[in-house]
Amino acid sequence: MGKRDMPRLAVTALLVAAMPLLAACASKNNDADVVAGKKLFVQKCGSCHELNRAGTKGTQGPNLDAAFDRSRRDGFGEHAIRGVVYKQILHPARGGIMPAGLVEGDQAHDVAAYVAKVAAKGGKDTGLLATAVPQAGGGGTATAKNGVLSIPADPGGQLAFQFKTAEAPPGPITIEMPNKSGVPHDIAIDGLGKGPVTPNGTSSFKATLAAGKTYTYYCTVPGHRAAGMEGKLTVK
């Protein structure tokens, strides 16, 4: 048996083991709400997991498209994949970064159903799923007012600021990032300053901007900038 066969067998074992667990409650939860599941996944899970159709790019946890790609090709359907996801939500790996009770009850079934529906599938979500989560970073340009430049984090939990661009005059300024998402974020500009990491609150720092310069603001939480949580500040 080659090393390449081991991951395939491990995933297969998880799929087979999870099927009785899901079957036991299938009749109660066949009506899982995948639209609610997508919203919850983006808010609760997207900062750690990459999932193409959800538009999430987290790097701290497994890429779910890659994780289930072989399972799809081996013929395992949504029912089996949903069982694996639901089992992992209920019983996260010991020592991992995923906390227990991240979502519970019907919400856990909703998230598992959505992931099972879209993981390792190409294309984009359609219908109600396509509009379930607003596109991150589509808020135009943030502008400074009364000495404060406010660049909020995406309130839905996506790894993005609400504004990909910002403008401010030269001189002293307070740069702040209100964060209502529950996902830890901060805001920083190299050479100018960095606010504290906060999951629910405001990260801010004071700086002095130079005329005619362009700065890059970003989140320093591991994996967030790489996922796209950055923007450009123009001073003029």
Domain chopping of the chain, boundaries: 5-131, 141-235
Residue 93: which of 80, 106, 102, 82 has the closest Cα?
A: 102
In CATH, what is the architecture of 141-235? Answer: Sandwich (2.60)
Distance CA 99, CA 29 (A): 23
Q: Do domains 5-131 and 141-235 have the same CATH topology?
A: no
Beta bridge partners of 216: 232
Q: Is the whole-model pTM more than 0.85?
A: no
Q: Read off the pLDDT of residues 179-195 as tens digits, 9 standing for 90 and up.
A: 999 899 999 999 999 99
Domain 5-131: what homologous superfamily?
Cytochrome c-like domain (1.10.760.10)
Contact 38, 119 (CB under 8 A): no
Given a cut of 70, the residues of the chain with pLDDT beneath it are 1-30
Please report the pLDDT score of residue 218 as a whole number: 98
Please report the pLDDT score of residue 2 as a whole number: 39
Distance CA 39, CA 114 (A): 10
